[in-house]
């Protein structure tokens, strides 16, 4: 992989987790196993480092999932498995610790490129590098989808998302069911049915669609819904978001993808939300969306 810049980031996270059973990751139970650690490594006599996903008293939320071996992989019951190792280690005489990882680019929180479901777009080079950073960053609405349905045209209609809103993160039953924390892929996840995707494309200004499991499309419309969304090459799909414990509302979304990958899609490495002021919320989501979109 070319994503060298991510290596130290990933490894520092997992190495340091050896020394602390963190209380700062309340929504991720049982993932402090130190997957980058090696048996018999002594714990370091330092205070535990802060490991947060909520910053500044709840003004900033990290909504990416931490890469762990137990995380689900689309269509598999095995989970991600070991993906991270330490080819050069100071304990073994190296000048520095250098870790390496190997990962399917569709793992965890990630964006889809147009070439993911259109082979001609893939051949023409519409990879993740062509996605619009302006669209990936800006005001976004986090909405709760009724829990008794996939996202159909009817559901989309019922959400009353105002015109002008360009980025929407859809929180569904997937979050309640904590599907992203279960190793086994679960095909009963909630996603967009083809008619829901069509409704969004035809009746809204939404150009960034975020969801809380590994696919924007419901399992039975996997291909159809992706084709609807990706056809114009104007819509960015962000999948596998971690929306637990984040109040619904209007946020400033920061989403950064990794560059220069010829493959169809790539991991989204940093995505966070900034809650706008309480005053703004009191004006009502709809009014505020009109004003700030």
- Could you tell me the smallest distance in angstroms from the CB atom of residue 59 to ligand NAG? 30
Q: What residue has token string 């035809």?
A: 202
Residue selected from 5, 82, 92, 130 as contacting ligand NAG according to rule CB under 6 A = 92
Which CB atom, from 89 or from 252, has the smaller least distance to ligand NAG? 89
Which CB atom, from 34 or from 249, has the smaller least distance to ligand NAG? 34
**Using the rule CB under 6 A, is 190 a contact of ligand NAG?**
yes
**Using the rule CB under 6 A, is 293 a contact of ligand NAG?**
no
Per CB under 6 A, which region of 75-83, 113-121, 201-209, 217-225 contacts ligand NAG? 217-225
Sequence-separated contacts (24+) of 124-129 with Cβ below 8 Å: 125/262, 126/233, 127/261, 127/262, 127/263, 127/264, 127/265, 127/266, 128/257, 128/258, 128/259, 128/261, 128/264, 128/265, 128/266, 129/259, 129/260, 129/261
> Packing angle between helix 194-203 and helix 222-230, nearest 10 degrees?
10
Q: What are φ and ψ of residue 273, in 5° steps?
A: -120, 140
**Using the rule CB under 6 A, is 151 a contact of ligand NAG?**
no
- Could you tell me the smallest distance in angstroms from the CB atom of residue 70 to ligand NAG? 22
**Using the rule CB under 6 A, is 89 a contact of ligand NAG?**
yes
Residue selected from 27, 97, 137, 293 as contacting ligand NAG according to rule CB under 6 A = 97
Which CB atom, from 45 or from 278, has the smaller least distance to ligand NAG? 45
Residue selected from 38, 124, 133, 223 as contacting ligand NAG according to rule CB under 6 A = 38
Centroid of chain to Cα 136? 12
Which CB atom, from 170 or from 251, has the smaller least distance to ligand NAG? 170
Per CB under 6 A, which region of 60-68, 90-98, 201-209, 273-281 contacts ligand NAG? 90-98
State the residues that interact with ligand NAG by CB under 6 A.
15, 38, 41, 44, 86, 89-92, 97, 148-150, 173, 188, 190, 218-220
């Amino acid at each position: 992989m070319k994503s060298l810049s991510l290596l130290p980031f990933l490894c520092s996270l997992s190495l340091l987790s050896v020394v602390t059973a963190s209380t700062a990751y309340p929504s991720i139970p049982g993932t402090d196993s130190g997957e980058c650690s090696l048996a018999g490594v002594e714990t370091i006599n330092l205070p535990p480092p802060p490991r947060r996903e909520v910053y500044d008293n709840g003004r900033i939320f990290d909504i990416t999932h931490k890469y762990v071996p137990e995380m689900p992989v689309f269509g598999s019951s095995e989970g991600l498995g070991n993906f991270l190792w330490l080819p050069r280690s100071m304990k073994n005489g190296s000048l520095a610790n250098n870790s390496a990882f190997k990962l399917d680019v569709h793992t965890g929180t990630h964006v889809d490129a147009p070439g993911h479901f259109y082979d001609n777009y893939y051949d023409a080079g519409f990879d993740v590098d062509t996605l619009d950073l302006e669209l990936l960053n800006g005001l976004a609405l986090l909405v709760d989808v009724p829990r008794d349905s996939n996202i159909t045209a009817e559901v989309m209609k019922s959400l009353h998302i105002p015109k002008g809103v360009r980025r929407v993160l859809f929180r569904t039953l997937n979050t309640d069911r904590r599907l992203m924390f279960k190793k086994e892929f679960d095909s009963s996840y909630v996603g967009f049915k083809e008619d829901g995707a069509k409704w969004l494309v035809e009746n809204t200004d939404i150009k960034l669609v975020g969801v809380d499991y590994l696919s924007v499309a419901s399992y039975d419309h996997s291909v159809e819904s992706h084709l609807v969304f990706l056809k114009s090459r104007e819509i960015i799909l962000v999948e596998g978001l971690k929306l637990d414990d984040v109040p619904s509302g209007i946020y400033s979304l920061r989403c950064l993808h990794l560059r220069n990958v010829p493959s169809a899609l790539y991991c989204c490495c940093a995505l966070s939300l900034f809650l706008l002021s309480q005053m703004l919320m009191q004006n009502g989501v709809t009014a505020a969306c009109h004003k700030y979109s």
